[in-house]
Structure 1
Amino acid sequence: MAGTLAAGALAGCAGKNQVPSIGYGVDAVVASYNGGSALGANSGAAAVFSRVLTGFFYTGPDGQPVADTDTGTAKEVPGEAQTIQYRLNPEGVYSDGIPSSCDDLVLTWAARSGRFTKPAPGGPVPLFDAASTDGYRDIERVDCQPGSKDATVLFRPGKHYAAWKTLFNAAELMPAHVVATQVKVPNVVTPVQTGDQPTLERVADFWNNGWTLAPGKLDLTVLPSSGPYRIDSFGDKDGLVLVKNEKWWGNQPKTPRIVVWDRHSDLKAKVSDNSVGVLDVGAGSLGDVSLSGFHKQNLPGRGVEQLVLGTGGVFGGADARRAFASCVPRQALFEKFGHPDYTVKIGLGSGPLNSRTVQQDSVYYQSISGAGDKYKGDGTAAQAAASSSLANQTVRIGYVKPDDARAAMVAAIADACKAGGVNVIDAGAPDFTASQLTEGKVDAILGGTAAMPGPSGTLGATDAIAALRTGAGLNFGRFGNGRYDAIADQLAAEDNSTVVLNLLNEQENLLWSEMPSVPLFASPRTIGFGNGMENGIAGATKAGAGWNMDRWVLKR
């Protein structure tokens, strides 16, 4: 023991010591462990749990899918139908000692395929409250012997999903054995394969609700980890505490404890009292907070800062939605909020964003982005609103408070739309959720891709595409357009650039005409790493700066 102390003392004299616990301040809202559900995806599970619940791929710092061979391997097999062979790591085991198995893939597919429904007054509705079914609904079946490490995923004849590396991903591949225990069945594979409706309804009920997270109310038995960290506790005072998962078989995490402070923590205070070693928030959202102890940068994100509009109430008609878009001062909002401390000449963050689904650095962007040019929000445009069905109407814009930048944006929109006779109200609240748009409690959401309050977006824009699809969980405005759905399906499989360009042009014209949302700009993010931090790599995507938290080392 004396030797250890002496070594520690020497280390202290020689330089800085490694800090055993790092605070991660992120403007996600910790609400669900299940990143494949609408609640989990919208609240930011990918930014918090990517190194707790691992998958075959995770979202890298540029928004691209990166293979995670610690979880297993996935490879496309040649053949007439698209087929992916998944092989889980033989050493893979959850923190509760139960081995990972292909049951996890079967559960994820069942929940996200859209094929399991229950009767409702207006016709069948999905059993599972999935964020989206994109890719999964094209899968014919998942061949899996319960408990096996191997799964073969076969797509439907004639279907091809180019973005298959976004399936069975980190924060979305959930532990099937937990569900089996909760609903008291030997495994979830058999009821899925046999279509056992009563059991599937119980499975869906747990998948939808059993993984919700609230401070002080954790049942750790349903929250096993398949990654380098596991949940230890979650409280208002102490944050969400992640600790080293003793059963993890891969490279051990460099720091044994990470404390996540989400948007419901007082992030400003946490930064001021040095509780935070890594910060990832919307630029300007914390107001005049001092980041003197950080190496920080503002950068354009892969998320789309946008107004997601309802399709009922005041926005029941496309003409009202277009009128509102014409009074939103898109150019002025970009100038003031869209590129803080940076000026980009071309590509991501170089101007107002004229597409909801195509990134500004895409080879297609310049050719398809013209449809949005007339929506600049100048004085003439505001007058267009005055002569529309929106005149003398009230528009309530919701977002998660506190957020200084979004509050100022709503004020600027209110000011601009007043000239068009439209009364814009700030309906932001600390307990705001995207489902309030679906319920008609607000008329629009100011947020990122798929109305996410915090980190959002990927290179392939899969969430952005899904958020406009009829019936998708992330489609909080309940927009539905069969032609949009068909174009999205075709684009998911198309590799001929001329066909892609034609489809994208048609899609953009359709979306600017129907106006389910008003894109503003690439969401600017402030990412800061405390002085003395090693291996901090900014990722302005839905996985946030926490995408590689198991590599972080902070020396003080």
Structure 2
Amino acid sequence: MNKRFLAAGASVAAAAMVLSACTPPGGGNDDQNSENSILNVGWNQAFSTMNNMTSYGNATANANLLYMMNDNFGYYDDKLEEQPGDLGKMEKVSDDPLKVKYTFNDTAKWSDGTPVDAADLALTWAANSSNFNTVEENNNDDGTVKENSDGTVYFDASSIAYQLIKDYPEISQDGKEATFTFSKPFADWAVGMGFGADGVGLPAHIVAKKALGIDDPAEGKKAILDAIKNNDKSALSKISNTWNSGFNFASMPQDEDLLVHNGPYKMTDFKEGQYLTLELDPNYTGPKKPKVKTVTIRYNGDPMAMVQAVENGEVDLTQPQSTADVLEAAKAIDGVKVETGDDATYEHVDLTFDNNGPFDPKSYGGDEEKAKKVRQAMLKTVPRQSIVDKIIKPLNPEAVVRDSFNQVPGSPMYDQIVKGSGIDQYEEVDIEGAKKLLEEVGGDIKPVRIMYDNTNARRQQEFQLIKESAEQAGFKIEDVGDVNWSTRLGDGSYDLALFGWQSTNTGITNSDSNYRTNSQNNYGGYSNSNTDKILDQLLVAPEADGAKLSTDLEKQLVDDAFGLPIFQFPGLTIYRDSVSGVSNTTVAPTVFWNYWDWEKTN
């Protein structure tokens, strides 16, 4: 899937040709599992849904646990190398047209005994393809999804990989094979569907039960497939309602159908805002053999409180946001390992183009050039180097300002992109240049409302540094920080947002939905036909053209004053000596990627 999780950066790797089943990770005998082992993991955000493909569910906190509760067709290891998953194999069976076949293992079963098969993957394709939507959007003012009326279809999801598949898949009679035909070549087909935390998505038979009132799993799967094949708007309207919000919950649901999964762990307890417990499911038929019986996720957004929980023995493993105080406190705890390093998440500034605010052409009678000058002026005031020096270097002395939207410093394409994008114009703060641009625009400039997590110490410092600098150029800055910032993304209530992106894969098309017109992650309403054209070219680009096209993309973003990258997150993993098998990777699901290797010795 071409999607980033809120908290998301990207790197590029060539897609593998075939991912096939092999010896499972965490392989071994049941007696490897410690009979009563309990591992407590600290996290900063609570789980909210069994469907992380919606805009509401698009969060690392959901992806981490869904990855433990569900198998997949592939995942990344700690070297960002693609590894085969446990649901089956996927393989490219044709180049012209591009065809990809998914074959499900006989061991792939949902926790209620129903086979995982083509119906589940077909539902995920239908929901993410936008092929069946009858409206472009169906959201309330607060960003939540409205319930579709009869005949209206709107799936709250978007993915380039799925959108390139226009036709109903070829499905074998037993449902064990599904072949999808792409409408054009797609560079990232190997990580496009069924990869990582997404897996095959929701169980189609449960969606049919909730949406269509069909209790029999086989009949339910057939009803889902028939609705998709026949483009039955009445049925798809009900299916989309269930898919969009029917699997959201903030505490342990009474309806056990919502907890149906196909991986080794099942959810057994969930106290709102406090903790969530996973236990090994004895009915799991797949090949994974995790060593820990019970994993409890304990929630607290305060990183210092999380360190205190580690010291008190309440938490065994955590990845809190790194600050100098957090790092120092963690290192002072006896019997604890502290590992630091770059994270794939990167901090950035996003501007809003479509809310009648200071960066929107509508505020200047539709004058695009005036709006762009105001955006450029604002970006000239962002003190990126000062932010890195004061906030990040105490944690990572080698930290540098990140100058690419899509590549981490040191990656193969990074230098070429930075040299050709023109981002060097924002290398230093230019207050006088910003003033000159604002004078050219003339008149009163609307206040700039900055949104960020105002409970986050790092972001509080960032906001203050940006505010002080921008005000020197004459901007009026309003603090609209909010602990619930993520629910407001795209609602028009702010003009500049500070947050991070974390990649779900390393594909060359990973950033597509951030910049494409009307895409899921394009919260600022940015739209440029040339940008869309470059993104179209990237979808089908041979590897040799990747660097040039990536440079063209970033030059267009700089020319349009889209926003700015600031820094790579400093990563921090803290775990007790009693825990082994801990490893981190720089795409979601981060430290959870090899949960089957975790072991608690006492």
Q: TM-score, normalised by structure 1?
A: 0.86
Give 1:205 deviation, angstroms. Answer: 1.0
Q: Does 1:181 align with 2:204?
A: no
1:552 match: 598
SS at match of 2:485: coil
CA distance in 2, matches of 1:552, 1:460: 28
Q: Retained in 2: the 8 A contact 1:325–1:375?
A: yes
Please show how residues 445-484 of structure 1 align to structure 2 within 5 Å.
445-449=497-501, 456=503, 458-460=505-507, 462-484=509-531
CA distance in 2, matches of 1:323, 1:194: 52
Letter aligned with residue 315 of structure 2: V
1:427 match: 480
Give 1:73 deviation, angstroms. Answer: 0.7
Aligned-residue RMSD, C-alpha:
2.8
Give 1:547 deviation, angstroms. Answer: 1.5
2:414 match: 365
Cα deviation code 1:253-295 (max 9, x no counterpart): 2111111234558645534532221111332298577222431
2:25 match: none
Change (3 A) 1:385 1:25: farther
2:13 match: none
Where do 5+ consecutive residues of structure 1 fail to align? 1-16, 345-349, 450-454
Change (3 A) 1:323 1:527: same
2:495 match: 443
CA distance in 2, matches of 1:461, 1:285: 34
CA distance in 2, matches of 1:474, 1:337: 27
Q: Retained in 2: the 8 A contact 1:30–1:43?
A: no
2:295 match: 258
1:305 match: 347
1:171 match: 197
2:7 match: none
CA distance in 2, matches of 1:126, 1:471: 17
SS at match of 1:148: coil
2:538 match: 491
Q: Does 1:33 align with 2:50?
A: yes
Q: Retained in 1: the 8 A contact 2:42–2:306?
A: yes
Greater CA drift, 81-90 or 170-179: 170-179
SS at match of 1:258: strand
Q: TM-score, normalised by structure 2?
A: 0.80
Q: Retained in 2: the 8 A contact 1:326–1:385?
A: no
2:269 match: 233
1:139 match: 165
Q: Retained in 2: the 8 A contact 1:82–1:159?
A: yes
SS at match of 1:93: coil
CA distance in 1, matches of 2:254, 2:508: 33
Change (3 A) 1:253 1:481: same
Q: Retained in 1: the 8 A contact 2:278–2:296?
A: yes
CA distance in 1, matches of 2:67, 2:558: 34
Change (3 A) 1:237 1:305: closer
Letter aligned with residue 442 of structure 1: Y
The one of 427, 433, 450 aligned to 1:376: 427
Change (3 A) 1:44 1:478: farther
Cα deviation code 1:357-383 (max 9, x no counterpart): 233333221111132111134244554
Change (3 A) 1:466 1:227: same
Give 1:43 deviation, angstroms. Answer: 5.2
Give 1:125 deviation, angstroms. Answer: 9.6
Cα deviation code 1:142-185 (max 9, x no counterpart): 222576121111111x4333343232223322221211111125
CA distance in 2, matches of 1:361, 1:440: 35
SS at match of 1:55: coil
2:6 match: none
Change (3 A) 1:121 1:230: closer
Q: Retained in 2: the 8 A contact 1:64–1:459?
A: no
Please show how residues 472-551 of structure 1 align to structure 2 within 5 Å.
472-497=519-544, 499-551=545-597
SS at match of 1:446: strand
Q: Retained in 2: the 8 A contact 1:358–1:461?
A: no
Change (3 A) 1:401 1:549: farther
CA distance in 2, matches of 1:84, 1:552: 33
Letter aligned with residue 373 of structure 1: D
1:354 match: 403
Q: Retained in 1: the 8 A contact 2:162–2:192?
A: no
Letter aligned with residue 77 of structure 1: V
Q: Does 1:99 align with 2:115?
A: yes
SS at match of 1:152: strand
Cα deviation code 1:304-338 (max 9, x no counterpart): 21122221222213332222211111111122334
CA distance in 1, matches of 2:458, 2:412: 31
Cα deviation code 1:495-527 (max 9, x no counterpart): 252x33332222111101223332112222212
CA distance in 1, matches of 2:393, 2:192: 29
Q: Retained in 1: the 8 A contact 2:39–2:294?
A: yes
Identity of aligned residues (%): 22
Letter aligned with residue 504 of structure 1: S
Cα deviation code 1:196-219 (max 9, x no counterpart): 011111111111101213135563
Paired residues, number: 524
Greater CA drift, 102-111 or 206-215: 206-215
Q: Retained in 1: the 8 A contact 2:449–2:479?
A: yes
Change (3 A) 1:320 1:60: farther
Letter aligned with residue 176 of structure 2: K
CA distance in 2, matches of 1:353, 1:126: 41
Cα deviation code 1:33-69 (max 9, x no counterpart): 212222222354223321212221224334454321x
The one of 317, 326, 333 aligned to 1:278: 317
Greater CA drift, 189-198 or 226-235: 226-235
SS at match of 2:196: coil
Give 1:93 deviation, angstroms. Answer: 1.0
1:403 match: 456
CA distance in 2, matches of 1:526, 1:539: 12
1:8 match: none
2:447 match: 394
SS at match of 1:323: helix
1:12 match: none
SS at match of 1:527: strand
Change (3 A) 1:461 1:387: farther
Letter aligned with residue 87 of structure 2: T
Where do 5+ consecutive residues of structure 2 fail to align? 1-33, 139-150, 215-219, 361-370
Cα deviation code 1:378-433 (max 9, x no counterpart): 24455456546597543233233532111111111112212112233443333332
Q: Does 1:315 align with 2:352?
A: no
Change (3 A) 1:440 1:329: same
Letter aligned with residue 352 of structure 2: G
SS at match of 2:166: strand
Letter aligned with residue 465 of structure 1: D
Letter aligned with residue 449 of structure 2: R
Change (3 A) 1:367 1:530: same
CA distance in 2, matches of 1:255, 1:430: 33
1:201 match: 237
